[in-house]
Structure 1
Amino acid sequence: MAYAGRFENRCAVITGAAGGLGKAAAQRIISEGGKVVLWDLNAELLETTATEIGAAGFVALDVSKLEEVSAAAKKSAEILGKIDILVASAGITGATVPVWEFPVESWLKVMDINLNGLFYCNREIIPFMLENGYGRIVNVASVAGKEGNPNASAYSASKAGVIGFTKSLGKELATKGVIVNALTPATFESPILAQLPQSQVDYMRSKIPMGRLGIVDESAAMVCFMASEECSFTTASVFDTSGGRTTY
């Protein structure tokens, strides 16, 4: 259900926006009156998505490169005129093996994208929000960051880092007009599942009391609440879309 005009005069940057949750959130913000610049590594798919959903612009970049993030933030502010909202959704799963077999290169890549990249995006966009005294930041974590998934140590650790980072940042910005929260979804139907063996997907489904994977629009709806003016007295917090899996 869309809320007409909810994001009127609001401008957003969404990472990992060529598909999955990033695309779904972007579509909804645009349908509710907002302007969005899409960020993603996949330049070809990003351009197609931007045209399809009517984005204000797009920037192809690697979020694990600080200089690219900094340039993208400046370019996005120029396109939009201001930045009110950041949805940091870019992420990868990494290898699916026990810790003692985990490739060091995969561990480092997961941390570079899921945690360091998210930090860079927050760091470079916050000044634009402080300039206007308003902002909403949604950092996409995972139920794995709360409970841990076996054979997914890098992903689980990186998402736990996102949760801790969000709680710290939200307190830093609590009196600045900038609200910062994290989303912890359980597994939902998304292109990222192609990075996992079916056995891992089946394991994660088995842990969800509702007995099914999530639907991307369910998490996008939560993202859009967190990104809206309605979310005004909750910061440094975590919102679940887990089908009952999370226990805290």
Structure 2
Amino acid sequence: MYSSFSLPNRYVSIPILAINLFLIHIVSSLNLTNEYLNHKCLVSQGKYKPGSKYEYNLYGLFRDIAKKPYLQVGFSHTTSNTGPDAVTIIFQCRGDSYGSHCRSCAATAVHGYLQRCPGNKGGTIWYDQCFLDVSMINDKAPRKINYENIFSMHNPNDVIGDRESFKKETRDLFYELILKADIPTADGNNFLYYAAGEKKIGRNKLYAMVQCAHDILDCKGCLEWSIKELSKSSDGKQGARVLGTICNIRYELYPFLRN
């Protein structure tokens, strides 16, 4: 059990019947093993009315994130159009969740957003394997670090033994992973922005991962900031994570990723 601490292109017209069928498809595709973590409804962005152009644009993008091209890379940053009814959606799966797992998490996130932020023009919802961010503001790529939508979680159990040594080993592993994540891919057109690893600490084995969204300006800077934030809120805990819409990090004393 974790404790959670929160710090506070195109226009698509979809008939009402198609929207209802879309919702039915989402409900039938839910990944019931994918844990809900947190959400934040952006009340300041206001509400949209049923049948409005904003709603059509929103559901059009929800349909888009389920398409195969997006799920192959596990990331999507899409804007419907320009003007007052523009919608921007950013969606990303955890680095080890791809294919059907990513598709299932996309369905779960859309359904969760519609339930927890009904009618809201903006909001973010996080699950164990993905996050979904909706906004009426077009945050164009490359995005800068957003310190507002970041939260941390930790295992309530403390590390047994030398806590200072454990903290150092954890920090060292994170920095090793940052070096692996913040390097160009083989084609030189992108960055990996994801790395996972493990290391032996006494009788225990430490597992960790780091990940950045594909459209951010400074992956390394975001991950380093998250490591410092983790040390403040999760000092000496057996497991912890920091999540946002820019980057996230996590460590545990048990394997939590797919092979």
Task: Bin the TM-score by the shorter chain.
Answer: under 0.3
Q: Which has the larger radius of gyration?
A: 2
Indicate the structure with greater helix content.
1
